[in-house]
Chains A and B, each alone.
Chain A
Amino acid sequence: MHGLFLAELRRSWALFRRYPGEVVTMLVSLVLVFLMLFWGVRYVAGPGSGALGDRLDGLIVGYFLWSVATLGLNGVGWAVQGEAAMGTLEQLFLSPFGPARVFLTRVAADLVVQLGVLLTVLGSILLITGRTLALSPGVVPVMVTVVLAAWGLGFALGGLALRLKRIPSLLQLSQYGLLFLVTTPWEDWGDTGRWVGAVAPLAPGAALLRGMMARGEPLELADFVIATLNGLAWLGLGLFLFHLAERHVRRGGGLAGY
């Protein structure tokens, strides 16, 4: 497994450095989209909105999380479709590791390789907007819970791509769904909101990070446990759905013909 991770890391790095134009385009578009969102919110709120500061910081945290989560979602959902179109999907199914382990290792490697770009995006956003965020080591494990849930959704979509072959519209739509999940302040919406926020994918981790990074709150153990359980449950569900889809295509012979 360690060897597979290193191989995926080398593969991801080779593709990353081979096309610097794509990296720059991704970086610039992520920053531009955020700035439009950020200034749009400020314009709509109008001058003198005292409480908007926290919300804007929360937006920055949510947007950064969205970028990280999208990477995980695409790492399986789009990748299954892309590999199938290229024809290499069957080769992954021929691996003794099995496709789920290969894709799981791949999204982890992609995250390591692209973390630099995502942190550059965050730095640029903070620099341009003049905002600051409270960063502590506790942020990292919470972020991991969000990433796990995002991978779970990616596997669920990957499973759907295996069965239905082409789901580009759904994959695109799901990115907006992710944005909704990580930027919605469930914690401000009373008991029902808190309950939904504990169950919805990515939501508890995102709420925790908003509190920690935007409002400087300490890491609450109970909230962290909920976020961890949420991440693991969604990852487990995604892997289960992917496994069902894999079994279906192996029985139905539906791996080719994309």
Chain B
Amino acid sequence: MTRPRAEVLHAEALHKRYRSDGREVVAVGGVSLTLEAGEVLAFLGSNGAGKTTCIKMMSGLVRPDAGTVRVLGRDPHQDARALTQVGVVLEGTRNLYWRLTSQENLEYFGVLRGLSGRQARRRATVLLERFRLSDRARTQAQELSRGMQQKLSIAVGLVHEPRLLLLDEPTLGLDVEAAEEVKVLVRELASEGCAVLLTTHQLDVAQELAHRVCILHGGRVVAEGETQALLARFSAQRYVIQLEEPPSHARLQSLQSLGASAQGGEVTWPGPAEGLYGVLQALAPLPLLRVERDRADLTEVFLKVTRPEALPPERG
């Protein structure tokens, strides 16, 4: 996976406090992150972790109490030109005019984002075709299926060809087919050089799409890094060998002497790769179904850094 290096988003030490019921609540307490062209960053966190506030600070909708945001070197809170480089698709169906058709929505929002009428019309045609909505160009947004509405929302977010796309829960509430289509679109956009910041509660989607992951908890970044590296870091040093049938009593004793354990046809070796070969020799010539290293998924990583008490103690 090769990635260009141009920095599209740079957020530094973002802070935001709100007053709620007479108390001051820290929504975001010093979040910094960067995003490069062609990169998908999954921005994860529980409800109230501060994700949406961060997205709104990065897009210029909410002014940070402290910290800076730069989109291609421009501050979206000071320089309106920065907004021409940002596409924002907010959660749910908050991005479209229900009574306008797909084509009308795209053309209207195109001009609203700074395109000329002609450019907006041309982009509308291109995007309708790309998102396979050409046959729904004259259908009002309220009459589209939920999946089509979401695709149209993303198209509206892209109408002015932004270099940065902020996607808030893009697959929420979609059926399997529509969610797959959205995932393909996100991959394509990244491969074309668009930087995508994705917030989602669907951690499998994040794991599938994101080059990097940033986990927010209580308004602070608690884990951040390349997705694969993060998964590796949180994976246990453990191998699982699946046998066709359970080992004999003698083999079991031999395995136990090496430090491995077995349950039914599954043998577990809780040590480094070098020791694995000794275990395999002890099992030879029994037929093997699979040998794999135990690997954490993003859900485990997420729970480990946000709610360690939620995981069984033996995991890592």
Contacts from A to B (Cβ < 8 Å):
3-4, 6-7, 10-11, 14-15, 18-19, 86-88, 90-98, 102, 250-253, 255-256
On whether the beta carbons of A88 and B116 are closer than 8 Å, the reply is no
Interface flag for B120 (CB, 8 Å): yes
- Complexed CA–CA distance, A236 and B117 (Å): 29
Cβ-defined contact, A88 with B95, below 8 A: yes
Task: Say whether A88 contacts B97, CB under 8 Å.
Answer: yes
- Whether B259 sits at the interface, judged by CB under 8 Å, is no
Most chain A CB inside 10 Å of its own CB: which residue of B19, B111, B117:
B111
The answer to whether B97 and A10 touch across the interface, beta carbons within 8 angstroms, is no
Let me know if B316 is at the binding interface, CB within 8 A: no
Within 8 A of A (CB), among B54-88: 56, 59-63, 77, 80-81, 83-84, 86, 88
Contact in complex: A91, B95 (CB < 8 Å): yes
B131 within 8 A of A: no
Q: Given A10-B107, A96-B83, is A102 in contact with B112 using a C-beta cutoff of 8 Å? A: yes
In the complex where A10-B104, A14-B100 touch, is A94 in contact with B60 (Cβ < 8 A)?
A: yes
Q: Given known contacts A7-B117, A15-B100, A96-B80, is B62 in contact with A91 (CB within 8 Å)?
A: no
**B207 interface residue per 8 A CB criterion:** no
Q: Give chain B's interface residues, CB within 8 Å of chain A.
A: 16, 18-19, 27, 52-53, 56, 59-63, 77, 80-81, 83-84, 86, 88, 90, 92-101, 104, 107-109, 111-117, 120, 140, 156
Partner of B83, one of A95, A102, A250, A251: A95
- Kindly list chain A residues whose C-beta atoms are within 8 Å of the C-beta of B109: 91
A253 touches B53 (CB 8 A): yes
A250 and B116 form a contact (CB under 8 A): no
Q: What residues of chain A lie closer than 8 Å to B83, measured between beta carbons?
A: 94-96
Query: Do A96 and B104 touch across chains, with their CB atoms under 8 A apart?
Result: no
Nearest to B95 among chain A residues (CB) is: A91
Of B59, B99, B101, B117, the contact of A94 (CB 8 Å cutoff): B59
The reply to whether B62 and A10 contact each other, CB–CB distance below 8 Å, is no
Which A residues touch B112, using CB under 8 A?
4, 7, 91-92, 95, 97, 102
A83's nearest neighbour on chain B, judged by CB, is B97
**Inter-chain contact B113/A96, CB cutoff 8 Å:** yes
Task: Classify the interface of chain B: helix, strand, loop or mixed.
Answer: mixed
Closest B residue, CB atoms, query A247: B63
Nearest to B60 among chain A residues (CB) is A94
Question: Contact: A90 with B94, CB < 8 Å?
Answer: yes
- Give the distance to chain A from B86, nearest Cβ to Cβ, in Å: 7
CB–CB B61/A255 < 8 A: yes
A250 and B111 within 8 A (CB): no
The answer for the CA separation of A96 and B87 in the assembled complex, in Å, is 12
* Most B Cβ at <10 Å: residue of A90, A91, A93: A91
How distant is A234 from chain B, measured CB to nearest CB, in Å? 26
The interface residues of chain A lying within 8 Å CB-to-CB of B156 are 91
Asked if B62 and A250 sit within 8 Å, CB to CB, the answer is yes
Query: Is there contact, CB below 8 Å, between B111 and A3?
Result: yes
A3 to B96, CA, bound (A): 20
> Are the C-beta atoms of B94 and A87 separated by less than 8 Å?
yes
Q: How far is the CB of A17 from chain B (nearest CB, A)?
A: 11
A-B contact pairs, 23 of them (CB 8 A): A3-B116, A3-B117, A7-B108, A11-B108, A18-B99, A18-B140, A19-B99, A87-B92, A87-B93, A90-B94, A91-B112, A91-B156, A94-B60, A94-B61, A94-B83, A97-B114, A250-B62, A250-B77, A252-B19, A253-B56, A253-B62, A255-B61, A255-B62
Instruction: Give, as a whole number of angstroms, the nearest-CB distance from B101 to chain A.
Output: 8
Closest to A253 in B: B62
Residue of A nearest to B16 (CB): A253
B151 to chain A, nearest CB (A): 17
**Are B99 and A15 within 8 A (Cβ)?**
yes
Contacts of A250 in B (CB 8 A): 61-63, 77
Determine if B111 and A94 form an interchain contact, defined as CB atoms under 8 angstroms apart. Answer: no
Chain B: which residue is nearest A84 at the CB level?
Answer: B94
With a cutoff of 8 Å between Cβ atoms, the chain A residues found around residue B120 in the complex are: 7
A166 to B: closest C-beta gap in Å: 17
Q: Verify B93–A251 contact, CB threshold 8 A.
A: no
For the complex, what is the distance from the CA of A98 to the CA of B98, rounded to whole Å? 22
The chain A residue sitting closest to B87, CB to CB, is A94
A7 touches B88 (CB 8 A): no
- Residues of A within 8 Å of B88, CB to CB, are 90-91, 94
Most central of A87, A96, A250 by chain B CB within 10 Å: A96
- A5 vs B165: C-alpha distance when bound (angstroms): 26
